[in-house]
Amino acid sequence: MTRRLPGARHLLSVADLDAAGVRELLDTAAEMHLVQRRDVKKIPTLRGRTVINLFFEDSTRTRSSFEIAGKWMSADTINITGKGSSTSKGESLRDTTMTIASMGVDAIVMRHHASGAAHQVARWLDELGTGTSVINAGDGTHEHPTQALLDAYTVEQRLGSLAGRHVAIVGDVTHSRVFRSNLVSLRLLGARVTVVAPPTLMPSGARAWAERDGFTLSHDLDAVLAGTHAPVPDVLMMLRVQHERMSGGYFPTPREYTVGYGLTRDRLATFTAASPEGVICHPGPMNRGLEIAADAADAASSLVLDQVSAGVAVRMSVLYHLLASGEGAAA
């Protein structure tokens, strides 16, 4: 198995990868998932490596899964939060990250509220010449590459190849970095994508973007579920309504949003009848009763917990390809 994606030091965007690179990461994730199912979940692959999880935004799934991934691969994994770093005392992001990298760490997994922060940190560290890898764990409304990879992995584990499958991404796409990363990964894997959102939550310039990248836009979730203009989706990817990023009234009331764009009990029944093998995804955390009903979140077709499980395997795969060297396999 290749130890390192060709030429890769960082993972900042899904656009850093080609189709072969995505496939290699997903294939390795399948092997890592076997490790995850063992009674003793420990392999020596990253022994002697140090991984810093540097999170300036709250996180449960991403931070925990990166920590578990590193520890199961025998890396020394350390968590640092924004409130626990010197940035809370006024230190700049540049000084904080360069200080950490100067300690000889091998990778910084970083989440930050500013779009482009991970790219900037990677440039600083490359200039410093530390050799430290940067993994983007979510930067503002820009990208969340490992989430897109785990979404693809999860769906393919249930449905097989994504090539030719129809994926509907529904909800608050304006503020969603998950949406942006998934657009790239799904296109690379050959899926057909429909983006569904109210006009107030559709990104500026979306029409030109859709024409350039080959996805479809809709403001009518019920028409999409009915297969009015395209085949009924194989995958419904519901996005969280990100109240914390909203500074104004993007919709009149939560109830009105649910009526128009929520995966309600009635819409779940419609989807299940039209697409019996169809699956439901959500990157979490879920606003139950807003963008997704409890019946849908807990349905047999829901892959929400499968996504959480896949998150560890995919992040093991990313760490493996960026950091592993010499002998030491995933088996």
| 280: its two tokens | 């439901």
Q: Which domains does the chain have, with CATH numbers?
A: 14-144+311-323 (3.40.50.1370), 147-308 (3.40.50.1370)
**Per-residue DSSP letters for 224-236?**
HHHTSSSPPPSEE
Give CA–CA dist 273/320, Å, rounded: 41
> Containing H/E element for 109?
strand 107-112
pLDDT in tens, 70-113: 999 999 999 998 776 777 668 899 999 999 999 999 999 999 99
Q: What is the crossing angle of helices 145-159 and 19-36, to 10°? A: 70
Low-confidence ranges of the chain (pLDDT < 50): 1-4, 326-331
Cβ burial of 325 (10 Å; 0-12, 13-18, 19+) is exposed
Q: What is the pTM of this model?
A: 0.93
pLDDT in tens, 115-139: 999 999 999 999 999 899 999 999 9
Residue 243 burial (CB count, 10 A): 12
Which segments are annotated as binding site? 61-62, 89, 111, 144, 147, 177, 240, 284-285
| Residue bearing tokens 């297969």 | 227
Q: What is the crossing angle of helices 61-72 and 19-36, to 10°? A: 70
> Containing H/E element for 280?
strand 279-281
Taking all residues of the chain, what is their mean pLDDT, rounded to a whole number?
A: 92
Which segments are annotated as binding site for carbamoyl phosphate? 61-62, 111, 144, 147, 284-285
Cβ burial of 210 (10 Å; 0-12, 13-18, 19+) is middle
What strands lie across the sheet with 50-55, from one edge to the other? 76-81, 50-55, 107-112, 133-139
- For residue 285, cis peptide bond before it (omega within 30 degrees of 0): yes
